[in-house]
Amino acid sequence: MAIWIKACNKDQVGNNEMFSFDHKEKRLLITNLNGTIYATDRICTHAEADLSSGFLSDEGVRCPLHLSVFNLETGKPLNPPAEESLKTYNVKIDQNEIYVEV
């Protein structure tokens, strides 16, 4: 059964910024790309690099290790070497709080 957890306050993840957090065994990434909030797994599916140390662009989040880019809406890698998609999560915003469905 999925539950909603509070990830952070909206002001903790500014426009075109990322916010990382852990919930139990999940390592998650909240991204504010051009005003839209996304939630994905934080670890690259190719080499287990922490995406919060990566780079954010209009394409998505770029892994700091081998430079694969992941689409934030679908989780799909846009270029090699990554081939497996990131898990994405539903997000809701209630006033100033961002929640993720896990």
Instruction: Render pLDDT for 17-70 as a digit per residue (tens, 0 to 9).
Output: 999 999 999 999 999 999 999 999 999 999 999 999 999 999 999 999 999 999
Any idea where the domains of the chain sit in the sequence? 4-101
Q: Is the confidence at residue 78, as pLDDT, over 80?
A: yes
- What per-residue confidence (pLDDT) applies to 1? 73
Q: How confident is the model at residue 2 (pLDDT cuts 50, 70, 90)?
A: confident
The region, left, alpha or beta by phi > 0 then psi within -120 to 50, assigned to residue 74 is alpha
What pLDDT, on the 0 to 100 scale, is given for residue 9? Answer: 97
Region 83-100 average pLDDT: 97
If one looks up domain 4-101 in CATH, what number appears? 2.102.10.10
Q: What mean pLDDT comes out for the span 66-78?
A: 97
Query: 3-state DSSP: the chain helix, strand, coil percent, rounded to 5?
Result: 5, 50, 45
